[in-house]
Amino acid sequence: MTLDEFTALHEISQTKYRYLRAVDTQDWELLRSCFTDDASVWYNQGKFTAEGPDNIIARLKAWFLPVVYSSHIALQPEIELTGPDTAKGTWRLQDIVHFKGPVPDPVRNLTGGEEITGAGYYYDDYRCVNGQWKIARTGYVRLFEQIARRAGRGDVEVKGVDERGVIKAA
């Protein structure tokens, strides 16, 4: 492996980590910077799809309301450089999502108080644009998804923090 190839793998990993942080912190501008201009997504076996960064972010903002607190982790990357400016990646996904209020989701009926815990695999296509690796296509397939409803969680209380993991400037 050459130094350039090693550097590309590192930069692709950084892009994926930045993407996950942007989703969890609801930093939509940062998220936009992770995508190519023609990016597309297909989440949860294709139940949620969107094309173009603006449409992707609009769809995510409609679901990741301020009452949603999430933690997404991508592990065990398998990245293949398929050309000088293209790559494919497979990542193990683990996520926990807390819903402090209702969210428009006709499939899951999320009325508030639920917690989704899941795992699966992300399948990504990357492209280097003007020297920066970006996500051209991303999606995931679940291994499992567990929804804990309020009644089944007893006295568990989830306290969301306003900063969402972001250090605020003084």
DSSP structural state of residue 43: E
Instruction: Identify whether 40 is part of a domain.
Output: yes
pTM for the whole structure: 0.90
Instruction: Identify whether 158 is part of a domain.
Output: no
* 3-class state of residue 168 by DSSP: coil
Do 100 and 112 meet the contact criterion of CB atoms below 8 Å apart?
A: yes
Q: What percent of the chain stands above pLDDT 90? A: 70
| Cα–Cα dist 162/69, whole Å | 10
| Cα–Cα dist 22/31, whole Å | 5
Instruction: Identify whether 70 is part of a domain.
Output: yes
Q: How many domains does the chain have?
A: 1
Report the pLDDT value the prediction gives residue 119, as an integer from 0 to 100.
95
Q: How many helices (H) and strands (E) does the chain have?
A: 3, 6
Q: Which two tokens stand for residue 112?
A: 């508030």
CATH of the domain at 7: 3.10.450.50
* 3-class state of residue 104 by DSSP: coil
pLDDT tens for 9-26 read 999 999 999 999 999 999
Q: What range defines the domain where residue 112 resides?
A: 3-153
Instruction: Identify whether 25 is part of a domain.
Output: yes
Q: In what order do the strands lie in the sheet with 132-148?
A: 48-51, 35-43, 132-148, 115-129, 86-99, 68-83
pLDDT tens for 14-61 read 999 999 999 999 999 999 999 999 999 999 888 889 999 999 999 999
Instruction: Identify whether 145 is part of a domain.
Output: yes
DSSP structural state of residue 169: P
Instruction: Identify whether 36 is part of a domain.
Output: yes
Report the pLDDT value the prediction gives residue 146, as an integer from 0 to 100.
92
The burial of 20, by beta-carbon neighbours within 10 Å (0-12 exposed, 13-18 middle, 19 or more buried), is given as buried
Q: Which two tokens stand for residue 164?
A: 């969402």
Report the pLDDT value the prediction gives residue 47, as an integer from 0 to 100.
85
pLDDT tens for 75-134 read 999 999 999 999 999 999 999 999 988 888 777 788 888 899 999 999 999 999 999 999
DSSP structural state of residue 130: T
Q: Kindly tell me if the per-residue pLDDT of 158 is higher than 80.
A: no
Instruction: Identify whether 168 is part of a domain.
Output: no
Instruction: Identify whether 43 is part of a domain.
Output: yes
